Structure 1
Amino acid sequence: MFTYRKRSVIPENVQELARELGVSFQRKKVSAELVSAFRSALQNLPAESVPRGALEIREIAQMSIGYGHREPSGLGSSFLQALGLNHKNEDTFLRDHPDLGWLLMFHGSGYVRQAAMEALTTSPSCPFEVAAVVYRLNDWVGNVRTASTEYARRFLLTASAKTISESAFFLLPQVYHLSRWNDQALSVVQDSIYRTEVLDEMREQFLAPRSGKVGQSLRLILQRSDFDIHLEKLVLDARLPTVRAIATETLLMRRARWFVGYRREWVNKVYGMTRRTAEFETRDVEIDFGVADVLGAAARDKSSLVRRIAADFLISKREYLTAEMADLSDVLRNDKSSAVRSRIDFLDRAIASA
């Protein structure tokens, strides 16, 4: 409606409310009903719409600051007084309507974003709000980051498990792209995600089919051991083959690994040729589980991706094969996947030459 793009990540009703609330704020006629309606409209927005959605909301609500604008020197300036954001004035809009901060956190002025984060008094109630707070933790203005960290410490840890878990699928990969925040802010975000009730909710979401980079999110949540107790359940009952494969690999190989970036590797120094190689970090997994149950389920899984992992495990244990493992190798020997059969062929040759 109000953007120049052919397609917006912000639904029409949110655009209408953002424009109306932004204009009302400029005219100093903000009402509690309008603020409540705007926040209610955010409930159905996904977390991944924040990066572009923040820019669109700023444009739609007319909160941009033109090139060459000079910020005031402090919060008590006439600039903030004109916006009703002077902390010395008890009749400010943000004091009367703290939830107005969910709009003003996208303002073009860092002073206004800081005041918005300091005014908020409630926990995020939807994935979009959680992601918006995390992006303010990475704000380019230091004072906004400080105010956002204080807010996150008080309220992010009390947000509902469903809200945090749903946003975590988007936020976990973003950790490697948000470079301005400090260790304290990162710790608050991680502590909110690794709450027991949040991990329980994420287990249910990993069990169900869903779109997006689910495998990447699962590997990233395994950076800490808190989620390990759920892996056996994922091996047996997850709907997505990628989830079953990662859970199976992590348990059988007793190693969690996750992507951290790329590095340049020399191919030919004489001609200056390099190639980009993915880098992973790992940690050992130390948890008791039913090895026979997991291996048996993997060997009979309908996905060849999971069956290959079972074959790899048999190869790694070829010197200590039990009778049950030998039976599973017989099952995989006639597998319809050539990748699985070739692994069992290698296993047979290795055993024969031992």
Structure 2
Amino acid sequence: MTDIQKTLHLAGKAVEMCLNGRPSLALRRFNAHRARLSPWDVARIDPQLRRVHRDAEFQGSRKPGVVTRILRLKPPFFEQEIARSPQTAWLFVHSHNGRYRQSAVQSMIIGDEDTAAQTALLQRCNDWVPQVREAAFDRLRTRAPQLSQTALASLVVFAVARVGIWQRGGAEALNILRECPLWLSALEEALAKQTNGPLVHVLKRQIVESALDHALNRLARSARSPFVRSAATECVLNEQVRWKSGYAKQWVNKPLGISRRVPIFKERVLDIDPANCAAVVRSGARDASAMVRKKIADKFIRDGGKEFSDEVKLLSKDSAASVRSRMEFFHRKYPSNMKKDKVND
């Protein structure tokens, strides 16, 4: 049983025990598993948790011992009980009842390392009930400036890739997080240290602006993800960033009315120090990932690689066939380099 399945199972037990007036043990077990979930897992199980809440309340209402408890704790009585217990609030922030969610958002304790609770708060900023959204935005405006760099780093990838495209309140929630003083340093830390998630997508969305230009050299040389190193290396070597801004209509056969969509790209020139570019070439030629080494070979094909004879020799004997084939083309394009290498040998 996975962590998500275990969390859903424990959530059903916890809701039933809360309605029956004995929540402590079930809530502790649920919160222990909930705290281990990533932001992506919390977003994935949120609709499933609403169904768990609905089914548990329905099944509980059919049990004679629970009927009086449920009838007595209908709103606003049960909302007051949620407000008195932060552990109950962590559970009912995913409830199918909007009043329960609003009360949970207002009363739950959001720790600095509690990524699951922070993600749940972001989700409630996109809630379909206006009162829940307002309560979530009030908590987020208060809580966001207090987040540490580590806490923000665990949220930035999810926030940029997922929260920013939510239709109800995602853009406003993302803007609140971006106003945090540690947002930029947390974003750099996430791109440099994390290996899972749509990191390249996040990087390409952020380099539209110049805020991350100073970090591209560091990401190209020392990011843990080979995909991030490859994308940052391409930006540094080309001395420009390029992103897709939309689509245009291109006619294939205008008399017959046949057309196709083609992407539109925009570019922005970077001011790269030649010393930094040379350092990226030398480190990229020795990178563990063939994706990065291919970018270095492509640069040699474009520019000749006269200043990097050691790197040219190294890539010519590369273990990856895709890199060797590029270097074979490089030697055919610049035969003088091959003659010099033979003389030196």
Match for residue 337 of structure 1? Answer: 324
Query: By how many angstroms is 1:223 displaced?
Result: 4.4
2:92 counterpart of 1:104: yes
Find the aligned partners of 2:290 and 2:10 in 1 and give their Cα distance. Answer: 49
SS at match of 2:241: strand
Q: Is the 8 A contact 2:177 2:183 kept in 1?
A: no
Find the aligned partners of 1:337 and 1:191 in 2 and give their Cα distance. Answer: 46
Find the aligned partners of 1:79 and 1:252 in 2 and give their Cα distance. Answer: 63
Residue 284 (structure 2) aligned to one of 280, 290, 298: 298
2:28 counterpart of 1:42: no
Find the aligned partners of 2:99 and 2:74 in 1 and give their Cα distance. Answer: 10
Find the aligned partners of 1:249 and 1:317 in 2 and give their Cα distance. Answer: 14
Query: By how many angstroms is 1:53 displaced?
Result: 0.5
Unaligned residue ranges in structure 2 (runs of 5+): 59-72, 337-345
Cα deviation digits, residues 201-254 of structure 1 (max 9, x gap)? 325424xxx344343233334445444444323333345432221111122223
Cα deviation digits, residues 245-289 of structure 1 (max 9, x gap)? 111112222333455666654433344434454555554444656
Find the aligned partners of 2:74 and 2:199 in 1 and give their Cα distance. Answer: 45
SS at match of 1:297: helix
Q: Which runs of 4+ in 1 moved over 6 A?
A: 63-66
Find the aligned partners of 1:328 and 1:198 in 2 and give their Cα distance. Answer: 34
Query: By how many angstroms is 1:104 displaced?
Result: 1.7
Match for residue 67 of structure 2? Answer: none
Match for residue 50 of structure 2? Answer: 58
Residue 82 (structure 2) aligned to one of 86, 91, 94: 94
Q: Is the 8 A contact 1:332 1:340 kept in 2?
A: yes
Find the aligned partners of 1:109 and 1:331 in 2 and give their Cα distance. Answer: 63
Match for residue 236 of structure 1? Answer: 221
Find the aligned partners of 2:270 and 2:230 in 1 and give their Cα distance. Answer: 16
Find the aligned partners of 1:280 and 1:259 in 2 and give their Cα distance. Answer: 4
SS at match of 1:290: helix
SS at match of 1:44: coil
Change in 2 beyond 3 A, CA 1:115/1:240: closer
Cα deviation digits, residues 279-335 of structure 1 (max 9, x gap)? 5555444465622211222345454432343344456657xx8x5157766766787
Count of aligned pairs between the two proteins: 317
Residue identity opposite 1:143 in structure 2: Q
Cα deviation digits, residues 55-105 of structure 1 (max 9, x gap)? 222222336899xxxxxxxxxxx96225x22xxxxxx11331134322222
Change in 2 beyond 3 A, CA 1:98/1:280: farther
- Give the RMSD, CA atoms, in angstroms: 3.9
Q: What is the TM-score normalised by the length of structure 2?
A: 0.73
Q: Is the 8 A contact 2:164 2:174 kept in 1?
A: no
Change in 2 beyond 3 A, CA 1:23/1:333: closer
Q: Is the 8 A contact 2:83 2:104 kept in 1?
A: no
Unaligned residue ranges in structure 1 (runs of 5+): 1-6, 67-77, 86-91, 350-354
Q: Is the 8 A contact 1:164 1:193 kept in 2?
A: no
Larger proportion of helix: 2
Q: Is the 8 A contact 2:15 2:57 kept in 1?
A: no
Q: Is the 8 A contact 1:267 1:274 kept in 2?
A: yes
SS at match of 1:144: helix
Q: What is the TM-score normalised by the length of structure 1?
A: 0.71
Find the aligned partners of 2:266 and 2:125 in 1 and give their Cα distance. Answer: 25
2:15 counterpart of 1:22: yes
